[in-house]
Structure 1
C-alpha cells in the first residue's frame, strides 16, 4: 500500500491513538488548560474536529474556512462542551474526512487544492497535513504524550515538512539542522553562514514545531526564535 492510501491508514492509526488517550478524560479535565496559551483542552479538541471538516471542504474544492473570524468562532463555540461530546465529534469528523478522501479519484488526488491563508498544495498532501495536526495537538492536550513519543516515520517526514516550511522565510536566520544519524537539512534565509543545530529527530521536531524550547539540541549560540506554525 502506497501513496494516499498508505497515508490515510497511518492517519487512522494516529487518530485511534488519540481517541484512546481520551477515554479517561472527564468534563473537568476538558476544561483544564492545554499547552497552548489561552486554550483549554476543549479548545484543542474543538479545533481538531473543525479542522477535519475544513479539510473535507478543501478536498471538495471549497474554502477551507469561510473566514478566520468564523474559524475562531467555531472553536470557541465548541470548546466548552462535555467530554463525551468532544469524543464523539472528533470521531465523527475524522470519519467524514476519511470517507471523503476514500471517494477521491486518482485525478482528484493529483489536483491542486487551496488551504488556509491562500496556501496551495497537491491534494495528496492532505492526509499528512492532518497527521501533523493529530500528532502535535495530541502533545498540546497535556495528557501524557510528548515529542519523545512521536513515531519515527512521523519524525522523518515532519523534519522535511518543517524545514521546507521555514525555507526562505525572511524571519528565520540561516540554519543547518543536523540529526545525530548524519542527516542534515538547510532552512531559513538562503544567504549567510548558517547556524548549525544538532540533535535527535524528536528534539529537532519539538523545537521546529514550537512544542519544546529546544531541550536536547546543541548549537554554538543561543537558539534563534521561530515564527509560529
Structure 2
C-alpha cells in the first residue's frame, strides 16, 4: 500500500540532501554541462523547481503544465540564473509542494499528469521523490546511483518495470539483483532475456542513466528500452 505521508517525508529529506550538496557549487559550476544531454546543471535545477510547481498544479486539480512549449521555455528562462537564485527557487518550490501535500485531500482520487497520463494522487509524492533523487545524480556533483536509499531503488525499479510491462517493443525480460526479481516487456509464456545486476545498475539501465555494461545478460542482447 502506498504511504503518501512517508513519501512526502522522503521528498523533504532528498531535497535537503540535494540543496546541501548544490550549495557547495559556485556560479560558474551552474553553467557546466550536466549528465543529461543538452542540459547544464542550471537546466536541471530549473526543471526541478518548475516540476515541484507543476506537481502542485496536479494535486490542486490544474493542468500540470500550460503546454509542452511553456514547460521548455520556463526551463530555458531559468537555467542561466546564479546559484543563490537557483537554490532559493528550489527551496521555495519544494516548500510549496510540501504545503500542497499536507492539505486535507482524497489521496485515492485519480489525477492527470503530463501528456494525459493518469495516476492515483497517492503516487504523486513518490513521483516527486524520483525526480529529486535521479536529477541529483544527473547534476554530476558526487551523488551516484549507489548513494540512493535502498528502499527508493527497489520501488523505482518496481515503477519502471511496471511502466515497460506489456510494451510490444521490449522483449519479455526477467530482472534480478540476486534477492528480488521483476518482469517487464511484452507478454510471453517465458522470459526471452534474463538481466542480472545490482539494484543501482538495474535502475541506471531502466532509467536511462547507464548503458547496461555493468549488467549480466543471458538469452540474448540487452533489450533496448523506449525513452521515458
TM above 0.5, yes or no, is yes
The residue aligned with 1:142 is 140
TM-score, reference length from structure 1: 0.95
TM-align CA RMSD: 1.2
Tell me the distance in 2 between the aligned counterparts of 1:212 and 1:127: 25
- TM-score, with length taken from structure 2: 0.95
- For residues 196 and 157 of structure 2, the distance between their equivalents in structure 1, rounded to whole angstroms, comes to 13
SS across alignment from 1:212: coil
Instruction: Count residues in correspondence.
Output: 225
The one-character-per-residue Cα deviations of 1:122-173 (angstroms, maximum 9, x if unpaired) are 1000110000001110011011111111110101111110100111112212
Structure 2: runs of 5 or more not aligned: none
Q: C-alpha displacement at 1:222, in angstroms?
A: 3.0
Most deviating of 206-215 and 110-119: 206-215
Deviations along 1:23-75, one digit per CA (max 9) or x if unpaired, are 11111100000000000000000000000000000000000001111100010
Structure 1 residue 76, shift from structure 2 partner: 0.4
The whole-number CA distance in structure 2 between the counterparts of 1:46 and 1:112 is 27
Q: Are positions 1:184 and 2:189 aligned together?
A: no
Q: Report the Cα distance in structure 2 between the residues aligned to 1:178 and 1:3, rounded to whole angstroms.
A: 25
Report the equivalent of 2:53: 53
Alignment pair present for 1:81 and 2:60: no
2: CA distance, partners of 1:61 / 1:196? 41
- Aligned partners of 2:131, 2:185: CA distance in 1, in Å? 22
Q: Of residues 179, 186, 205 in structure 2, which corresponds to 1:207?
A: 205
- Structure 1 residue 209, shift from structure 2 partner: 0.5
- Following TM superposition, the consecutive aligned residue runs of length 4 or more in structure 1 with deviations greater than 3 angstroms are none
Whole-angstrom distance in 2 between the partners of 1:171 and 1:58: 30
